[in-house]
Amino acid sequence: MYQDIRLFYGMKIGASDGLIGHLKDFYFDEQSWMLRYIVADTGSWLPGRQVLLTHHAFAPDAFSSALTSDRVLHARLTRKQIEDSPSVDTHRPVSRQYEDDYHRYYGWPTYWQDAGLSGVAGIPAPTPPPAAAGPTRHGHNQRDDIHLFSTASVAGYQIQATDRPAGAVRSFMVDGKTWEIREISVDSGHWYSVRKILILPDNVERISYEDSTVYLNLSSEDILQTRNNEVAQACPGRP
């Protein structure tokens, strides 16, 4: 069963030796539709700073455990490890250089080097970084990875069918064990007759950061023929 990603926003995040803040956002990879990073707001612990955490930092059942128990995501890292990790400006797209430095700091493989990775099961606990490692601030002149998008930001993007606008992104339905986005929840129709329908990632042609738009390979008729809470599909006879 998939979960609405909004269930996880605001969850507390704990290190092995204390709380570090709360879950503010996710970054997902448009090419694979995997959640690549949790964005953690560190609040009063590290004022003004947000940190990224990957699936490597958590047990495979971290999300399900948090939903059924104390609503705390428990990371397999210390507060010191997180504090000394490379800093990131979450107001700008994440650069590939930052990702390289981030994964090197923790000793984790990058997802583009481990293309076969589709989930979190069997991933070993992280190796502590060298004691001498310290925080690094990344500027804006790095190469930006345009395939990473914020789930909180894309919620609200316009949905563009092949022939005309067809709604807006409401949220994402995710598999908490594999960190995959399985469906996109979309508000379609008029203000007086809004329907919630589901779009599969395979039906997304591209996401435009500049246009705040998700482009589909489905027609507006395909969307119109989709019933409430059902998955949109191409109408029979249409390529």
Domain ranges of the chain: 3-148, 155-224
Per-residue pLDDT of the chain (239 residues; tens, 9 = 90+): 899 999 999 999 999 999 999 999 999 999 999 999 999 999 999 999 999 999 999 999 999 999 988 899 999 999 999 999 998 888 888 888 999 999 999 999 999 876 544 444 433 444 444 433 444 444 333 345 568 999 999 999 999 999 999 999 999 999 999 999 999 999 998 766 789 999 999 999 999 999 999 999 999 999 999 999 999 999 876 55
For residue 138, what is the DSSP state? -
Q: Which CATH superfamily is domain 155-224 in?
A: PRC-barrel domain (2.30.30.240)
Query: Would you state the CATH architecture of domain 3-148?
Result: Roll (2.30)
Contacts of 23 (CB under 8 A, 6+ apart): 8, 9, 10, 11, 12, 13, 38, 39, 40, 41, 73
pLDDT at position 236 is 76
pLDDT at position 113 is 77
Residues in the chain: 239
Distance (Å, rounded) from C-alpha 58 to C-alpha 184? 24
Distance (Å, rounded) from C-alpha 66 to C-alpha 74? 8
Say yes or no: do domains 3-148 and 155-224 share a fold: yes
